[in-house]
Structure 1
Amino acid sequence: MTITTEAERPTDLDPDLKTAATATATATTTGRHAPTTEESDLQAESEGDFPDDDSALGDDAASSTASINSSIMAYRTENGRTYHAFRESINYVLPNDSSEQERLDLQHHLFILTLGGKLYLSPLQRDDKPLGRVLDAGTGTGVWAIDFADAHPETQVLGIDLSPIQPNFLPTNLEFQVDDLEDEWTYNYKFDFVFGRMLTGSIGDWPKFFQQSFDSLNPGGWIECQDITFPGESDDGTLLKGSPIDQWCELMTEAANNFGRSAVSAKLYKQQMIDAGFINVAEVIYKWPSNRWPADPYYKELGFWCNHNIAGELSGLSMALFTKGLGWSFEEVEVFLAKVRTDMRDRRIHAWWPIHVVYGQKPDY
């Protein structure tokens, strides 16, 4: 069922988000991409080159398909944030309010910069016929689906999410539905491409997800997942064991496990795709610098947006996991996150986050 929302999303976004297109333009014109784990270690900028005021950011910026009815729009409010109301038993712990929507849009630009201006890495183009249908699993604000639909007007794009937070005015070849990806997929048609981004913590049964994706693809179709994994790493040992960032990674992993989710699921995607029957499976692991510590200006820009994406919305990423998964109080979480933010903005700590891009093909027979 096509999504119709009651109001447009806010347009008065953080000014930094309005300049995020610069990242896209840079990546597109230069053809550069984020550093990968196959390349040499990232080189840090000399501490003498740090500006006096080096805070990258301020505090936090502020199976049947369901119809859009009052119950789904009546979002749950916890600790000042709103969360989906699709089904209370679903263990999805990220908010869906305007701050989170802005973060998701920013994160989209960060991925475009990471991939050198591309929306995906899968070799989709076929000489014999255009793509028929594409599924964006966990579409969020729908920004990836909108960009893909604009770039492929001949293709029908379907975006699925728990929350109806997508805009009203869409390309004519794009549709959004509210649904739970962990339910049985009941589509009466097949896809040529299944795409999922940042689904870590969203899926409890990954083998089932990949099997349902395989079964829902046409022969020769592709699947691609783009995801972060924990813990953060450093090439030079400046991310110390027991530091606030390291503790945060461990606690996020523990809390996710308590919800029946995994914070390290991306490490298994490649083998799980193979186990589901996919062929031509490939994996690229990129590095997201934790802040602007790299010497290379391009990687420094990556670090800026990564810091905005993670440190800038640390409370939204952590609060439900820590309060419901670990039993912490709101005040305990905020005190701890203040220490984590400080470390995430410290350019003497040369941390980076592993970003896995894994894709594979259903056999063409």
Structure 2
Amino acid sequence: MTKETDEKPADGCPEGSPPLGNAARPESILVPLTHPNGVSIFPELSPSEQEQLSLEALDQAEESIIADSAESTDGGAGDNTSDGTASDAGYDSDSATSASTSAMSSVRDYMYENGRRYHRFREGSYNFPNDDVEQEREDMKHAMVKLLCSQKLHFAPIGENPQEMLDIGTGTGIWTIEMGDRFPSAHILGIDLSPIQPDWLPPNVRFMVDDVESPWLHPRNHFDYIHSRHTVMAVRDWMKLFRRAVEHLKIGGWIELQEIHHTPKSALAGGNGELPSDHPVARFWKHVTDGLAALGIDLDAVSDGRLSDMMHRAGFTNVTERVLHVPIGTWPKNKVLKTVGLYWRTILLDGLQAIALGPLTRGLGWNREQVELLLIEVRRAYFDNAPLMYMPFHVIYGQKP
């Protein structure tokens, strides 16, 4: 799904922007595709086969994901293993057995060591912890987005020689560091409320503790590109942020947001695209959304073109919105999207308590026991592939005229 809010030239693209077809894709996808711990995801496939699979995954994610019938029609919540934990019916017996085993083990072994759970949200603007476990989960989110997007780090047509970049809410800094490697002539600044970034950096990358919703310390007309991802749970005043971005971007510079709308949908044929409101996962996210609203944060801000509309009203032109589908679970037929779904479900499950505690206790006045009771059925429901659950991933970018 693509929403373009400005008039375009005859080729169907914003002025100065490449087409959304092959020309907008990376010249060469980084293959072989690997998990964050370096283990190959598809060792049985050649680099060219992996590249083709990755491009097909991006096309399907933007149009319509094809479900794996073995995954989506079993109607259950997965098989139970001997230790009582749930696993995906059919996934371990997929034709790519080694890839499936590698995905299941390396995702969890590398990213979630010691089975650690989150016990609190950090106070203030950001609603996730910043401990080691949360940092690992954030890095997994980065890996998931790269898989979903055919390894693209950005969609805005920033050219090959941007000089000054800003990454808002940089977190562990993993995106900023990779952009520093990709654009060695650029100066890239990552800002965050927490000084949790590594010390070893490319020479053109630096980090600073800063609050993007406070007055900016940077010169006007300074940046070529401003990037923000996974900040919808933190930003309270998007219009103020966009107006400041207009002030601090150079003429012709770009801003890009990459945000997931955390309201689960259903890809079932013949349905209306909505997950039933009484489904445990839908109810969970409704509670989280209500709790964050009580704390001054609109988790639905990314929906219905609202951010792109605000971006336009703030003065940006060539505003473009692309929406990709992030599957929850291993129901897609495409092996890349199957792995994306495994990653995303793992991210959601391992952060379940951390996601819930702050909004539900601080925002809705629940006690911890009530939260834990809710999470029991939510964990079980996440393993059910039958509803073909997914979440929309919005890529929104605009240019300073």
Fold match, TM over 0.5? yes
Q: Partner of 1:201 in structure 2?
A: 233
Q: Aligned in 2, Cα 1:264/1:20: closer, same or farther, shift over 3 Å? A: farther
State yes or no: 1:221 paired with 2:253.
yes
Structure 1: runs of 5+ lacking an equivalent: 1-14, 63-77
Question: Does the Cα contact within 8 Å between 1:27 and 1:112 map onto a contact in 2?
Answer: no
Aligned to 1:74: none
Separation in 2, partners of 1:341, 1:152: 41
Q: C-alpha offsets along residues 185-216 of structure 1, whole Å, 9 cap, x if unaligned? A: 12136100000001112111000011111111
1:330 aligns with 368
**1:248 and 2:284 correspond:** yes
Query: Which residue does 2:157 correspond to in 1?
Result: 123
- Alpha-carbon shift at residue 286 of structure 1 (Å): 0.6
Change (3 A) 1:151 1:38: closer
Instruction: Please report the RMSD computed on the Cα atoms of aligned residues, expressed in angstroms.
Output: 2.8
State the distance in 2 between where 1:222 and 1:253 align: 29
1:18 counterpart residue number: 37
Query: For residue 80 of structure 1, what is the aligned residue in structure 2?
Result: 119
Instruction: Sort the Cα spacing of 1:108 and 1:37 in 2 relative to 1 into closer, same or farther, 3 A.
Output: closer
Contact in 2 for aligned 1:292/1:303 (Cα 8 Å): yes
Name the counterpart of 1:107. 141
Equivalent position of 2:63 in the other structure? 39
TM-score (norm 1): 0.82
What is the rounded CA distance, in whole Å, between the counterparts of 2:51 and 2:142 in structure 1? 13
Match of 2:28 in 1: none
Instruction: Tell me the distance in 2 between the aligned counterparts of 1:308 and 1:100.
Output: 13
Shift of 1:27: 5.8
User: 1:156 matched to which residue of 2?
Assistant: 187
Q: Distance in 2 between matches of 1:92 and 1:30?
A: 33
CA displacement, residues 290-320 of structure 1 (integer Å, 9 cap, x when unaligned): 1112233222111111111112211122211
Query: Are the equivalent residues in 1 in contact too, given 2:164–2:186 (CA < 8 A)?
Result: yes
Aligned residue type for 2:69 = E
Report the secondary structure of 2:145's partner residue. Answer: helix
- Superposition deviation, residue 42 in structure 1: 3.8
The correspondence of residues 43-82 of structure 1 with structure 2, limited to 5 A, is: 43-46=67-70, 47=73, 52-53=79-80, 55=87, 61-62=115-116, 80-81=119-120
Q: Distance in 2 between matches of 1:175 and 1:97?
A: 21
Query: What's the counterpart of residue 322 of structure 2?
Result: 284
Q: Which amino acid aligns with 1:252?
A: V
Q: Select which of 289, 299, 303 maps to 2:341.
A: 303
* Corresponding residue to 2:215 among 167, 170, 184: 184
Q: Distance in 1 between matches of 2:340 and 2:35?
A: 14
The amino acid across from 1:182 in the alignment is E
Unaligned runs of 5+ in 2: 1-33, 81-85, 89-103
Q: Distance in 2 between matches of 1:180 and 1:314?
A: 26
- In the alignment of these two chains, the number of paired residues is 325
Alpha-carbon separation, structure 1, partners of 2:35 and 2:62: 31
**Stretch deviating more after TM superposition (293-302 or 105-114):** 293-302
Q: Percent identity?
A: 32
Q: 1:304 to 1:79 in 2, by over 3 A?
A: closer
